[in-house]
């Protein structure tokens, strides 16, 4: 992971923070889609965004497909990302992922399955003005870098699946367990071994090495995201079911444990299906400026390709 990529996401976050602060200072507030629109292109050239014309107004909401791509190895990691925001209601922090009685969350999961990637949220937690009531969990300096990086925080839908009916519980999970976007790519942050509950039952040397050894590029991003859900799985009470299952398409790890924990499906399959040996054809179409197939362009607001 390069320092240039960390800088690119730093520019995105910096721009998002300034916008949220400007709007809050004027008493106008802000919405997720606008924060994305004014900031995402600041990551160029390392972070490239393609936006589609929305054929059905409102149908695709704020969902973007992100692909982390290593051009040398062609390995890549994809994820579907829905933008959400931190809010306040009667003095408590909230994140509402339960729109339309949970239908929006179900739609996100179905779209993620269609693309064979994990479902994620990018939560905007505000600029300096909005988050001034949030305690610092880092170095206790006002306006510390750790707090500022939290302005764009990444968390998987699986991690907050069980709490979707409670925006307060969801916000607590987001504030405690999300990963600041920049921390996904910060070369200074050490890679930790993932001591998953199913580790003993995994016989594939490649998958064991992925979990236990340091990784690079798309594998490293996928591992940092997987580590968070694996940690959550390890503290839940249900017993592991380690029988293997197979992932379709071109996965780097075709056979993974079937264990579901308290998630809707195997969490290994849900996350590692996004880690592929080759990018899907629509990514090559975008890179070569060919038109994007309608079945892709109709389902998401855009595609973000990140070269790692």
Contact residues for Zn ion, defined by CB under 5 A: 136, 138, 144, 146-147
| Residue closer to Zn ion (CB basis): 146 or 264 | 146
| Residue closer to Zn ion (CB basis): 38 or 144 | 144
In the complex, least distance from residue 149 CB atom to Zn ion, rounded to whole angstroms: 9
| Residue closer to Zn ion (CB basis): 99 or 138 | 138
In the complex, least distance from residue 43 CB atom to Zn ion, rounded to whole angstroms: 23
DSSP-based three-state secondary structure for 63: strand
Query: How many Cα atoms are found within 13 Å in the side-chain-facing hemisphere of 76?
Result: 23
How far, in Å, CA of 120 to CA of 223, rounded?
Answer: 14
| Residue closer to Zn ion (CB basis): 59 or 145 | 145
How far, in Å, CA of 162 to CA of 170, rounded?
Answer: 9
In the complex, least distance from residue 96 CB atom to Zn ion, rounded to whole angstroms: 25
User: For helices 205-212 and 217-234, what crossing angle results, to 10°?
Assistant: 80
Read off the tokens for 199.
Answer: 């580790």
| Residue closer to Zn ion (CB basis): 136 or 201 | 136
How far, in Å, CA of 197 to CA of 177, rounded?
Answer: 18
Residue 292 and residue 54 in contact, taking contact as beta carbons nearer than 8 Å:
no
In the complex, least distance from residue 125 CB atom to Zn ion, rounded to whole angstroms: 12
Read off the tokens for 222.
Answer: 């996928």
In the complex, least distance from residue 20 CB atom to Zn ion, rounded to whole angstroms: 17
């Amino acid at each position: 992971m390069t320092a240039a990529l960390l800088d690119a996401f730093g520019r995105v976050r910096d721009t998002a923070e300034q916008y949220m602060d400007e709007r809050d200072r004027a008493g106008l507030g802000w919405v997720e889609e606008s924060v994305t629109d004014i900031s995402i292109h600041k990551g160029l050239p390392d972070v490239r965004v393609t936006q589609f014309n929305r054929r059905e107004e409102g149908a695709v909401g704020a969902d973007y497909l992100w692909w982390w791509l290593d051009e040398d190895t062609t390995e890549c990691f994809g994820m579907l990302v829905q933008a959400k925001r931190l809010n306040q209601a009667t003095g408590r922090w909230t994140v509402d992922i339960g729109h339309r009685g949970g239908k929006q969350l179900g739609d996100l999961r179905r779209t993620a399955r269609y693309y064979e990637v994990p479902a994620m949220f990018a939560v905007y937690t505000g600029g300096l003005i909005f988050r001034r009531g949030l305690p610092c969990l880092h170095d206790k300096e006002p306006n510390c870098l750790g707090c500022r990086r939290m302005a764009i925080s990444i968390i998987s839908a699986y991690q907050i699946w069980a709490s979707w009916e409670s925006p307060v519980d969801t916000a607590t999970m987001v504030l405690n367990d999300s990963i600041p976007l920049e921390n996904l790519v910060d070369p200074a942050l050490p890679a930790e071994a993932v001591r998953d509950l199913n580790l003993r039952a995994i016989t594939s040397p490649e998958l064991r090495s992925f979990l236990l050894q340091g990784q690079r590029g798309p594998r490293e991003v996928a591992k940092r995201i997987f580590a968070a859900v694996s940690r959550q799985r390890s503290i839940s009470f249900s017993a592991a079911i380690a029988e293997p299952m197979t992932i379709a398409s071109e996965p780097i790890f075709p056979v993974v444990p079937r264990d579901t924990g308290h998630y809707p499906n195997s969490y290994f399959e849900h996350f590692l299906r996004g880690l592929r040996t080759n990018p899907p054809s629509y990514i090559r179409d975008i890179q070569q400026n060919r038109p994007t197939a309608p079945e892709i362009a109709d389902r998401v607001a855009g595609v973000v390709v990140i070269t790692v």
